[in-house]
């Protein structure tokens, strides 16, 4: 069998197998790389399973790392890539919902039986191009099924994160989950509460970033009972009604699902901004009486409330600080796009010059497409940015703090006030030169204008 898209990575992995075999050991490619190869997908890495003990692997390869020697795993460093080389093993009982108490080195078949899902339990011989299937993985690949190996409950009790991994594999590959496996996930869903925040957020982020239709992945998490455990705030969006005039698509959850499904070139920042942009709506929903006597649902300050909630969620999941700050900013400011056509030019330039602007634009585009479909504000901003293409969106300020203090303003908040006023005037092209701007600034200060208290 020919490996599709053979690469330097595969060439190196094949050479590692040959080195192990030349010393009398059995060795195969294993797990996800075999699954992806059979599906015609590009594998990001190649793992190798072997009869060689860790100490033998370290002797055979000059550059290694002991990333899990107690469990038979050695990382081999070759050609600027890292390859996990693991000894065939049988796991002893799990006590903590993550790690076995120990391992017993064994055969390839025993190693396949201790893995999580059949589609991940395949081995491949790169020299004979033959697949070794001890668990029915090829059958389930053809049927597009995620199935636990052996008893589903046993596999999930060994490592509780597998509950979420099943959903990720199904969503990324667009497979179904085998009924008995899905039933076991629903029964054991509360076990996810015992998994560390770091492991949870990595799986959730990968599901949302890598899935062709991330919204359907979110629906799957709900259907399996996992969403209520890991993201109860998102679960509460289900059934939260919205004004039909602006949101004919339905409730807040449906709106979010549609946005996630429409994403292209997803990044962690984008998926979390989309997922959480309306997270403040359930807490702020109120029935408001309109001037004509009718009532409608309003979500007063859901953007600011949502920003705080989003920050709390992301901190709980121990996300990187920069991502938290970026997502919080996007959630807090996503409603300002409604008024961009009424904004002063200086404010528009400051908005367009922010490092988060491309992300905010994409969030707004998806928001519109998943609701009223009115892209007029988005198109207005595209035109505005196009008009600025031959000049910096945010040019260096002509007037700085020292200039303001030279006009008699002592160091303090008043300097910031006048600096902002001068920069806004510059951005609005109200003065042709720095000298003209300084002259206006001098007269304004002399006239006794004061910043608001």
- Sign of the Cα pseudo-torsion (409, 412, 413, 416, in order): positive
| Structural domains in the chain plus CATH codes | 1-143 (3.30.460.10), 144-230 (1.10.110.30), 264-291+314-387 (no CATH), 401-446 (no CATH)
Q: Per-residue pLDDT tens for 85-116?
A: 999 988 766 666 666 666 778 899 999 999 99
pLDDT score of 5: 47
pLDDT of 128 > 90? The answer is: yes
pLDDT of 155 > 60? The answer is: yes
Q: Give the residue among 155, 348, 362 at the shortest CA–CA distance from 271.
A: 362
pLDDT of 22 > 90? The answer is: yes
User: Residue with structure tokens 């969030």?
Assistant: 363
The alpha-helical segments, DSSP class H, found in 224-374 are 227-230, 232-235, 252-262, 268-276, 281-284, 302-316, 321-333, 345-353, 357-369
**Burial code of 290-318, b = ≥16 C-beta within 10 A, e = fewer?**
eeeeeeebebeebbebbbebbbebbeebe
**DSSP assignment, residue 337?**
G
Mean pLDDT to the nearest integer, 377-391: 88
Which region among 131-145, 195-209, 250-264, 394-408 has the lowest average model confidence (pLDDT)?
394-408
Which region among 77-81, 114-118, 343-347 has the lowest average model confidence (pLDDT)?
343-347
What percent of the chain has pLDDT above 90? 69
pLDDT score of 84: 95
Mean pLDDT to the nearest integer, 131-148: 97
Residues 6+ away with beta carbon under 8 Å from 166: 116, 117, 146, 148, 177, 181, 185
pLDDT of 445 > 90? The answer is: no
Look up residue 107 and give its two tokens: 């055969």
C-alpha pair distances (Å), 282 with each of 128, 234, 300, 367, 387: 58, 10, 11, 17, 39
pLDDT of 4 > 60? The answer is: no
Helix (H) or strand (E) holding 34, with range, is helix 32-38
**DSSP assignment, residue 97?**
S
Give the separation between CA 50 and CA 26, rounded to whole angstroms: 5
Angle at the Cα of 253 from the Cα atoms of 247 and 254, rounded to 5 degrees = 55
Give the separation between CA 235 and CA 237, rounded to whole angstroms: 5
Judge contact between 249 and 261, C-beta under 8 A: no
Q: Residue 68: pLDDT band by 50, 70, 90 thresholds?
A: confident
User: Residue with structure tokens 């992806």?
Assistant: 36
Give the separation between CA 126 and CA 43, rounded to whole angstroms: 14
Judge contact between 97 and 160, C-beta under 8 A: yes
Helices (H) and strands (E) in the chain, counts: 23, 13
Mean pLDDT to the nearest integer, 337-358: 90
What percent of the chain has pLDDT above 70? 94
Residue 332: phi, psi to the nearest 5?
-65, -25
Q: Per-residue pLDDT tens for 188-240?
A: 999 999 999 999 999 999 999 999 999 999 999 999 999 999 999 999 999 99
pLDDT score of 268: 97
Q: Which of 251-265, 287-301, 334-348 has the highest mean pLDDT?
A: 251-265
Q: Per-residue pLDDT tens for 30-58?
A: 999 999 999 999 888 999 999 999 999 99
pLDDT score of 15: 96
Judge contact between 184 and 153, C-beta under 8 A: yes
User: Residue with structure tokens 């560390």?
Assistant: 196
Give the separation between CA 219 and CA 167, rounded to whole angstroms: 10
Mean pLDDT to the nearest integer, 266-293: 92
Give the separation between CA 72 and CA 68, rounded to whole angstroms: 6
Which region among 159-168, 239-248, 412-421 has the lowest average model confidence (pLDDT)?
412-421
Judge contact between 132 and 29, C-beta under 8 A: no
Work out the angle between the directed axes of helices 357-369 and 321-333 (0-180°, nearest 10): 50
Whole-model pTM: value is 0.84
Mean pLDDT, the chain, as a whole number? 91
pLDDT of 1 > 50? The answer is: no
C-alpha pair distances (Å), 334 with each of 215, 310, 337, 344, 365: 20, 13, 6, 18, 11
pLDDT of 376 > 60? The answer is: yes
The alpha-helical segments, DSSP class H, found in 159-251 are 162-173, 179-188, 197-210, 214-223, 227-230, 232-235
User: Residue with structure tokens 């191009």?
Assistant: 129
pLDDT score of 77: 95
Mean pLDDT to the nearest integer, 113-121: 96
pLDDT score of 406: 85
Judge contact between 37 and 3, C-beta under 8 A: yes
pLDDT score of 453: 52
More confident residue, 2 or 121: 121
Look up residue 273 and give its two tokens: 């901004």
Look up residue 287 and give its two tokens: 């029935």
């Amino acid at each position: 069998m020919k490996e599709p898209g053979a690469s330097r990575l595969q060439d190196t992995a094949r050479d590692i197998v040959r080195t192990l075999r030349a010393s009398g050991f059995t060795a195969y490619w294993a797990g996800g790389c075999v699954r992806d190869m059979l599906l015609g997908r590009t594998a990001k890495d190649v793992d190798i399973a072997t009869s060689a003990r860790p100490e033998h692997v370290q002797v055979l390869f000059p550059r290694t790392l002991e990333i899990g020697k107690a469990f038979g795993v050695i990382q081999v460093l070759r050609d600027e890539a890292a390859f996990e080389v693991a000894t065939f093993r049988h796991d002893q009982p799990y006590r903590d919902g993550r790690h076995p108490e120990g391992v017993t080195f064994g055969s390839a078949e025993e190693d396949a039986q201790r893995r999580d899902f059949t589609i991940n339990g395949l081995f491949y011989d790169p020299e004979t191009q033959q697949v070794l299937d001890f668990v029915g993985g090829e059958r389930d690949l053809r049927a597009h099924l995620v199935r636990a190996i052996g008893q589903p409950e046993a596999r999930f009790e060994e490592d509780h994160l597998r509950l979420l991994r099943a959903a990720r594999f199904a969503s990324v590959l667009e497979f179904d989950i085998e009924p008995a496996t899905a039933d076991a996930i629903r029964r054991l869903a509360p076990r996810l509460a015992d998994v560390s925040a770091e492991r949870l957020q990595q799986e959730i982020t990968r599901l949302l970033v890598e899935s062709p239709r991330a919204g359907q992945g979110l629906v799957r998490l709900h259907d399996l009972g996992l969403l209520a455990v890991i993201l109860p705030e998102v679960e509460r969006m289900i059934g939260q009604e919205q004004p039909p005039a602006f949101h004919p698509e339905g409730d807040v959850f449906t709106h979010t699902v549609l946005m996630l499904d429409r994403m292209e070139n997803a990044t962690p920042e984008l998926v979390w901004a989309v997922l959480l942009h309306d997270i403040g709506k359930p807490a702020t929903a109120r029935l408001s009486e309109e001037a004509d006597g009718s009532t409608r649902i309003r979500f007063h300050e859901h953007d600011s409330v949502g920003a705080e909630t989003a920050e709390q969620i992301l901190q709980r999941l121990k996300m990187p600080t920069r991502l938290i700050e970026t997502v919080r900013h996007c959630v807090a400011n996503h409603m300002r796009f409604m008024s961009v056509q009424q904004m002063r030019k200086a404010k528009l330039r400051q908005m367009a010059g922010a490092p988060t602007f491309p992300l905010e634009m994409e969030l707004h585009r998806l928001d519109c497409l998943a609701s009223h479909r009115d892209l007029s504000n988005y198109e207005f901003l595209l035109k505005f940015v196009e008009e600025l293409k031959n000049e910096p969106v945010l040019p260096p300020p002509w007037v700085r703090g020292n200039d303001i203090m030279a006009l008699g303003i002592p160091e303090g908040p008043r300097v910031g006030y006048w600096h902002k006023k001068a920069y806004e005037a510059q951005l609005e092209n109200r003065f042709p030169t720095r000298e003209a701007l300084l002259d206006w600034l001098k007269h304004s200060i002399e006239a006794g204008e004061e910043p608001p208290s």
